[in-house]
Amino acid sequence: MRYNDREDAGRRLAAALPQFRERPDTVVLGLARGGIPVAAAVAAALHLPLGALLVRKLGIPGHEETAYGALALAPPPATDAPPTERIVRILNRPLLPRMREYGIGQELLDQVESRERRELLRRAGSYPALRHDLHGRTVVLVDDGLATGATMRAAVEAVRGAGAAAVVVAVPVASLEAHTSISRVADSVLSLHLPGNFNAVGSYYRNFNQLGDRDVVGMLRAAGADSPRQR
């Protein structure tokens, strides 16, 4: 299975989620950046509010495409805590001893995390649609695909911490390992395509262009997601 682009993937994903159409207790959050166009298509088709969730992968030094962990920025709770106090961090702990065997020490990992935290906070100051009230709501988390599942695991923890009543993960494609991992932490997981021999997420799209901040912010504003929609 290959999708034409992220919007095509989002429309197909929405067709598999009819039970959420126009539900007043449900919000769609796209993982920024790549999940935003997928989520925008899902939200539009299902007539649901759209928001963004900021995540950053913690890549292994020298093998950055492989995540040893991830960060996510939880939406502000009623106390409106500052962003630095809302960062959720998850680690793939079984990987850590193996990385040390290959000479990747804690200092290098600290540098990676410090850099990604700075980037997460930078985006928090410029992205709209980060302030949805999730307390007691069903949250549909959307990304363009799951390879390791690290960023999605952080996202699930972030929205649970913000008071979500139920967390549904929906993606166009996922590795079997990531799907299984996320199934342990989310209430429900929908992966339209689960290839037995998983390649990079982009290989399942004919058009998988890189997205910049301007692209994503423009999509969110075009979808009317600048302001949170209250219940």
**6-222 domain in CATH 3.40.50.2020?**
yes
Instruction: Indicate the pLDDT class of residue 82, thresholds 50, 70 and 90.
Output: confident
Model confidence at 231: pLDDT above 50: no
Residue 66 in tokens: 């492989």
CA–CA dist 77, 60 (Å, integer): 32
* Res 88 pLDDT > 70: yes
Q: What are the φ/ψ torsions at residue 100 (nearest 5 degrees)?
A: -65, -35
**Alpha carbons 15 and 25: distance in angstroms, whole number:** 19
Statement: residue 215 has pLDDT above 60: yes
Q: Name the pLDDT band for 104 (thresholds 50, 70, 90).
A: confident
Other CB atoms within a 10 A radius of the CB of residue 178 amount to 24
Q: What is the pLDDT of residue 230?
A: 41
Strands (E), 108-211: 138-142, 166-173, 188-193
How far does the chain reach from its first CA to its final CA, in angstroms? 37
The residue-averaged pLDDT of 131-145 equals: 95
Q: Dihedrals φ, ψ of 92, to 5°?
A: -90, 85
| Least reliable range by pLDDT among 90-94, 132-136, 168-172, 204-208 | 90-94
pLDDT over 90 at 156, yes or no: yes
User: What is the value of pTM for the model shown?
Assistant: 0.93
**Host H or E run for residue 107:** helix 106-124
pLDDT computed for residue 229 by the predictor? 46
What is the reported pLDDT for 78? 54
pLDDT of residue 65: 77
Query: So what's the pLDDT on residue 79?
Result: 57
Paired strand residues for 50? 28
- The whole-angstrom separation of Cα 179 and Cα 160 is 19
Q: What is the pLDDT of residue 100?
A: 77
**Residues 6+ positions from 82 with CB-CB distance below 8 Å:** none
Judged against a pLDDT cut of 60, whether residue 120 lies above it is answered with yes
What pLDDT is attached to residue 174? Answer: 97
Residue 188 · residue 168 · CB < 8 Å: yes
* Segment 24-51 mean pLDDT: 97
Q: CB of 129 within 8 A of CB of 29?
A: no
The segment with the largest mean pLDDT, out of 56-60, 192-196, 219-223, is 192-196
Partnered with residue 168 across adjacent β-strands are: 140, 188
